[in-house]
């Protein structure tokens, strides 16, 4: 079977062991595939590996040999699953490969902002320590996480791992999740949305993007939060109304936000949030530790092998 990976770079820019995928006799990978290149590159493909390359109804219609689409991610909205099923094409995804990577990134953002490590490193190298009369100095101190309240919107695998780390720091954790009666650990309290907005010192988003959660962070919800709250989003850029957030950041200099996702990726060159000094942005990389990407690659291989054995796994359609 001919296998084509349309946007292989993000999963493996060259630092992973991909001998398993390369062992397939007819495997071809492209770092990135533009829309106009999808058909020429995939016209003979039996199996396609995609992460963000879109396979909509019209594109699927033009691929006569296609039998299996393996999404190298948990989210599979890049594929028209109904159109695929109508053609008898199986679609599988890979889930739970980045739980520890994302949770670690959440706390790297928290600790970076709370301790201002980069700021103080620049200060020392600029000579401020050498010029100091004291063995230690502060340009705005930091506070401990112990006793602080971490709020989580959503309670999936990543949020649960964040809870575990928060417990080690001695934090209080409150969660808003549709299932109020779910089993929560002793150090986790279920709260309403309004309680979540108003009571947490740090708010981290871990909900799927739905019509109910799109732009859930907007003027009305931001105004309910503490003036010195830290907002973290490693979930979906669509959760945030970015113009409302930019205005809130300008009006509330002690309110900080750390984002790993934006509403459009890659973002425009002069994004509205770039001018906010209390906004920190990483390029959608929370998921991408080397270990997480290797787990993802292994999961793609396992999905393909299961399909070839006519016993497909992780089927989403």
pLDDT (tens digit per residue) in 286-296: 999 999 999 99
pTM for the whole structure? 0.91
Nearest to 243 by CA among 251, 253, 235, 254: 251
Domain residue ranges in the chain: 3-97+290-308, 99-281
Question: Does 118 participate in catalysis according to the annotation?
Answer: no
* 99-281 matches 3-97+290-308 in CATH topology: yes
Question: Does 265 participate in catalysis according to the annotation?
Answer: yes
Q: Which two tokens stand for residue 213?
A: 């959660």
| Cα 241 from Cα 216, distance rounded (Å) | 8
CATH class of the domain defined by 3-97+290-308:
alpha beta
Among residues 41, 215, 284, 302, which one is catalytic?
Answer: 284
Among residues 34, 265, 290, 291, which one is catalytic?
Answer: 265
99-281 maps to which CATH number? 3.40.50.720
Per-residue confidence (pLDDT) for residue 314, from 0 to 100: 97
Per-residue confidence (pLDDT) for residue 141, from 0 to 100: 74
The strand pair at 3-5 and 27-29 is best described as: parallel
Q: What is the mean pLDDT of the chain?
A: 96
Tens digit of each residue's pLDDT (9 = 90 or more) over 40-52: 999 999 999 999 9
Among residues 236, 239, 248, 293, which one is catalytic?
Answer: 236
Question: Does 22 participate in catalysis according to the annotation?
Answer: no
């Amino acid at each position: 079977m001919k296998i084509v990976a349309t946007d292989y770079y993000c999963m493996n820019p060259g630092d992973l062991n991909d001998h398993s995928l390369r062992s397939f006799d007819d495997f071809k990978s492209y770092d990135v595939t533009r829309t106009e290149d999808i058909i020429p590159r995939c016209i003979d493909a039996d199996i396609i590996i995609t992460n963000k390359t879109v396979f909509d109804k019209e594109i699927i219609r033009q691929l006569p040999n296609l039998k299996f689409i393996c999404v190298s991610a948990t989210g599979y909205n890049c594929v028209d699953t109904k159109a695929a099923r109508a053609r008898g094409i199986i679609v599988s995804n890979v889930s739970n490969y980045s739980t520890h990577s994302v949770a670690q990134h959440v706390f790297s953002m928290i600790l970076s902002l709370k301790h201002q490590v980069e700021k103080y490193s620049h200060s020392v190298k600029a000579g401020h320590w050498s010029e100091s009369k004291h063995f230690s100095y502060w340009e705005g101190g930091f506070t401990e996480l112990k006793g602080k309240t971490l709020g989580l919107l959503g309670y999936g695998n990543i949020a649960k791992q964040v809870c575990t780390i928060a417990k080690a720091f001695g934090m209080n954790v409150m969660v808003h999740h549709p299932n109020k009666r779910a089993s929560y650990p002793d150090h986790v309290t279920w709260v309403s949305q309004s309680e979540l907005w108003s009571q947490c010192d740090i708010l981290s988003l871990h909900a799927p993007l739905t019509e109910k959660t799109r732009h859930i962070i907007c003027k009305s919800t931001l105004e309910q939060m503490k003036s010195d709250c830290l907002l973290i989003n490693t979930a979906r850029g669509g959760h945030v109304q970015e113009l409302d957030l930019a205005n809130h950041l300008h009006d509330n200099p002690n309110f900080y936000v750390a984002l790993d996702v934006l509403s459009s990726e890659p973002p425009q060159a002069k994004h509205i949030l770039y001018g906010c000094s209390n906004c920190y942005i990483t390029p959608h990389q929370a998921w991408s530790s080397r270990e997480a990407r290797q787990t993802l690659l292994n999961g793609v291989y396992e999905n393909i092998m299961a399909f070839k054995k006519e016993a497909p796994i992780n089927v989403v359609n």
